[in-house]
Chains A and B, each alone.
Chain A
């Protein structure tokens, strides 16, 4: 294929334009509409801190063998806890900054983001968002790079560091089999005596969350955490006071992968930028070889 100098620059310019266009259109990479996916609304105003969700999760998922009475111990609230490989969910107690005598309790677990950063960071596709809502993990694919742990804005995935031969990333499963095959609610939702946890489609949960705020403005802060945070999450929270002092981080509305994936995917869009890059390199090589050949020819002539 004969390609002259002028045509090459045209091609390179077109490739650069495509790359720029790809970066500008940061549209996010949410694979499907999550409004009909399952989610859970955690109402910390209704939560009584009984820790039954921890018990149910242990019996359903982690199966650590702890006695049920272990979970009646309220002294654990004195220390702030995080989910780990043996506890996919933990309940923490927070004091109301305005009135320290009033405290409330909040369960924390994987938020099952609509556009999960962990899945985006995973280089082997061991984590992915299902249309039903849960972000599921496939231990067979996992190579243990733990990029997901770095990527997660909620710092949820835990790792079995003590398992030398077959370590896994551990996080809330959203009881995937229970909700998709057995047609049940997640274990923690099923057991919650006060029904502080409500299981349903994300759209209906958001409607209900805003209804509760609207009908009881004295009880709730006007914010549904997870509606927009990190591009929206399947698990949503209501709280009596502002979320900033809880362990839920203050996050931008956009999904984490929307920036990173746009840049990376933009580079390889339609394969034009790589062609442009390699074309440019080829041109430089060609130019330098011409020069080198000319110099060599001149030297030969001189000799």
Chain B
């Protein structure tokens, strides 16, 4: 009897294993075919724990944050103009200049300024997710009407302080609502001048002991890897354009200091202020010239923390904590250690583990031999 029970249990366990293996295999195949490589949580797109080909239980719309922003879409892929014609009985179709708005969004969060939820590799138009009727089960999602109006009006009313329908909707003849006239101060339809990215800006300030401030703008973007919004925060349309006040084209001294101090809060005035123009950044200035391997690295490989670039310990083990005598190939330094020296402990030559200094051989060899004439190995490269 007991044996029968054991057999049955074994058969059932085997069946479960086979079935789960089948399901898992199917999931893996689908995952490879339908998904970008990367760490996606299944429940971001599926409602069930184990989606299968037959029952994928896909959510009608994705609800996870933009995952494609790292691989930016070219503007040429996007439509130039979109005609919004959902309520043609009352108004003429709205001609939405998508290209112009996409260009303006570059100063904000790019496509994600409006396209808030997008699956990898695809930017859906508003109406792919937002339907015409409110869904009582999902009140969080506005209908298409709400989605359009919130997107448009959240910016437009900021600078125009106006919410008149006719700013976007031209009434049809049969609509019966009188047009209030086109507002000539409105910037709809007027191309924005190209925003150029400065290379270097030199400011003359009232600070007597250091009136000249040289700001290497391109360096902050391309070398220090800052994005526009890291400094230009909240600089949307209404920051410059507001119909109730004149256009602002320059920042005040307080505003500039606030932006710089966001990172340079601990730096003294002379970090920026000088009596003459300054050249750009080189790593030698930090007192640690980059050697051949380090020079090839991206700044963020060693300085990964946030906007503010942190100072690093110049000891090798500060970064290369895992190095020890067994796994370090000394040849990369240009010196292939001979058999005797290769078996010695690192600290035998590099006293106090100071690897930036050339070891002093006389601490062991008191016979007058120095690295200049007889080396502890073979020199395979000279820098």
Q: Which residues of A contact B (CB under 8 A)?
A: 46, 48-50, 68-69, 72, 185, 192-195, 198-201, 204-205, 208, 211
Contacts and interface: CB of A to CB of B under 8 A. Distances in A.
A193 B150 CA distance: 8
B163 interface: yes
Contacts of B139: 198, 200, 204-205, 208
B177 interface: yes
A62 to B, nearest CB: 20
A282 B164 CA distance: 75
14 contacts: A48-B153, A48-B157, A49-B163, A50-B163, A185-B134, A193-B149, A194-B149, A194-B153, A195-B142, A195-B143, A195-B150, A198-B134, A198-B139, A208-B140
Nearest to B177: A68
Contact of B136 (A48, A50, A204): A204
Nearest to B178: A69
B21 interface: no
B217 to A, nearest CB: 29
Question: Nearest 4 CB-CB pairs, A to B?
Answer: A195-B146, A193-B149, A195-B142, A50-B163
Contacts of A199: 134
A50 B149 CA distance: 12
A208 B177 CA distance: 35
Interface in B119-137: 134, 136
Most buried by B among A46, A192, A193, A204: A193
Nearest to A189: B134
Contacts of A69: 177-178
A182 to B, nearest CB: 14
B140 A194 contact: no
Most buried by A among B139, B145, B146, B165: B139
Interface in B140-172: 140, 142-143, 145-146, 149-150, 153, 157, 163-165
B163 A48 contact: yes
A75 to B, nearest CB: 13
A88 to B, nearest CB: 22
Most buried by B among A72, A192, A195: A195
A254 B24 CA distance: 55
Contact of B140 (A49, A185, A192, A211): A211
A46 B150 CA distance: 8
Nearest to A69: B178
B140 A200 contact: no
A50 B163 CA distance: 6
Contacts of A198: 134, 139
Range class of the B interface residue count:
10 to 19
A198 B142 CA distance: 9
Per DSSP, chain B at the interface is loop
A235 to B, nearest CB: 15
B91 to A, nearest CB: 12
Nearest to B140: A208
Contacts of B180: 72
A49 B140 CA distance: 21
Contacts of A204: 136, 139
Contacts of B136: 200-201, 204
Nearest to A68: B177
Contacts of A185: 134
Contacts of B157: 48
A200 B150 CA distance: 20
Contacts of B142: 195
A193 B145 contact: yes
A194 B146 contact: yes
A199 B136 CA distance: 8
A205 B139 CA distance: 8
Nearest to A48: B163
Contacts of B146: 192-195
A237 to B, nearest CB: 16
A49 to B, nearest CB: 7
A205 B145 CA distance: 19
Interface string B51-81: 0000000000000000000000000000000
Most buried by B among A50, A194, A198, A208: A194
B243 to A, nearest CB: 14
Contact of A195 (B149, B163, B165, B178): B149
B370 to A, nearest CB: 66
Interface in B24-74: none
A185 B177 CA distance: 24
B178 A72 contact: no
A178 B186 CA distance: 39
A211 B139 CA distance: 11
Contacts of A200: 136, 139
Contacts of B178: 69
A195 B157 CA distance: 16
Contacts of A195: 142-143, 145-146, 149-150
Given A194-B150, A195-B145, 4 more contacts: A46-B150, A50-B163, A194-B146, A199-B134
Most buried by A among B136, B140, B165, B177: B140
Nearest to B162: A74
Contacts of A205: 139
A272 to B, nearest CB: 48
Contacts of B165: 193
B139 to A, nearest CB: 5
A195 B146 CA distance: 5
B191 to A, nearest CB: 26
